[in-house]
Amino acid sequence: MNIFALLTQREFLISVLAAVSAAAVVFTFGTSFIVKSQLKDRIKRVALEREKMRAEEMARLRGAVVTDSRGIRRSGETKTYMKNVVERFDLKKAFQDDATVDKLAMAGYRGQGHLTTFLFARLATPITIFLVAAFYLLVLAPGGRPLYLNLTYAIGGALVGAYLPTVMLKNTTSKRQFSIKRAWPDCLDLMLLCVESGMSVEHAFKRVANEIGTQSIELAEELTLTTAELSFLEDRGRAYNNLGRRTGLDGVKSVMTALIQADRYGTSVGQALRVMAEEGREMRMMDAEKKAASLPPKMTVPLILFFLPVLFIVIIAPAMIKVFGGPVASTVGGG
């Protein structure tokens, strides 16, 4: 009875409630500190993983090796004499414009070394072709032509050689863009699968770069560079814009614009990639239909030049032999 009276006393109930409140306050603040500690550990692990990925990408991009296991090209070192010639004759002012670096990047040549090599080639190619042509026309095969005519031919070869590096650069760019454009819809599908499975954009780019290398080495190289830029650039939009600028393809630029908007406004990256993947497949189908529709006009000229003459000969030849061979045979028989 004394215990029941003690439990029902006002002072005892106030003491119990105060102890419970104090325990709840301690538990609440202690839990918040534990959660903060766990959050700091998770942020630290994410930062370490990010630094590790950054170090891997930078180590992969650094060095003078020509190709790696997937065939991705590395930037080589510039020869000393090329650098000296470019600096002595100030070839950057003569040959370089605002679009030169972008054109080299679209062809897969990045860095100061490739720029120096291209500028040196713009100067050395016409001079080399002129000297070779002049030596051949004047010494090895003069052919009885006047001196001024041989020099004119040599100068013409030098003018052609002046445009040769630019033409080769455009050819390399077109081949590279064709390879990237052909593999881009499959790349979007793989990236969509990675993002919807829970991967971040950086890991999605890295995983797709490893997988797409068997189909397009050029696209794998660009995705690897984008992964590295996403790791160390403060603005992710710059990395996306750089990918669109290096490829020079409208399809890639539209996807990068969608990713920038999704990152800026917080919209769904998976939904944006899904829409862009569908558009990429439709564009590839339209390109195939366009090529199929352009085949009959392209076959018209070969058909006229090669098939129709043979067809006419096969059809008319027996009649011609019969017409022109009849009198001759009758004359021989009468004689």
Residue environment code for 109-134, b if the CB has 16+ CB neighbours within 10 A, otherwise e: bbbebbbbbbbbbbbebbeebbeebb
SS3 199: coil
pLDDT exceeds cutoff 50 at 130? yes
Cα–Cα distance for residue pair 224/69, rounded to 1 Å? 13
- On whether the CB atoms of residues 12 and 6 are closer than 8 A, the answer is yes
End-to-end CA distance of the chain: 161
Cα–Cα distance for residue pair 103/135, rounded to 1 Å? 34
75 DSSP 8-state letter: P
In which band, very low, low, confident or very high, does the pLDDT at 301 lie, cut at 50, 70 and 90? confident
pLDDT exceeds cutoff 70 at 327? no
The tokens of 196 are what?
């919807």
Give the residue among 232, 118, 151, 243 at the shortest CA–CA distance from 191.
243
Please report, for the chain, the start and end positions of each structural domain, with discontinuous segments joined by +.
180-286
Q: What's the confidence (pLDDT) of residue 3?
A: 65
Q: What's the confidence (pLDDT) of residue 164?
A: 92
Cα–Cα distance for residue pair 227/182, rounded to 1 Å? 21
Segment 220-264, tens digit of pLDDT: 888 988 888 888 788 888 889 999 988 988 888 988 998 888 888
pLDDT exceeds cutoff 80 at 41? no
The tokens of 220 are what?
């794998």
DSSP per position, 101-165: HHHHHHTT--SHHHHHHHHHHHHHHHHHHHHHHHHIIIII--TT--HHHHHHHHHHHHHHHHHHH
Question: Alpha carbon 310 to chain centroid distance?
Answer: 47
pTM of structure:
0.65
Segment 141-195, tens digit of pLDDT: 777 778 888 888 899 999 998 899 999 999 999 999 999 988 888 898 899 888 8
Query: What DSSP element (H or E) covers 330?
Result: helix 308-334
**How much of the chain, in percent, has pLDDT values that exceed 70?**
77
Q: What's the confidence (pLDDT) of residue 169?
A: 92
Segment 61-118, tens digit of pLDDT: 544 334 444 444 444 455 788 888 888 878 888 788 888 888 888 888 887 888 888 8
pLDDT exceeds cutoff 90 at 215? no
Q: What's the confidence (pLDDT) of residue 288?
A: 84
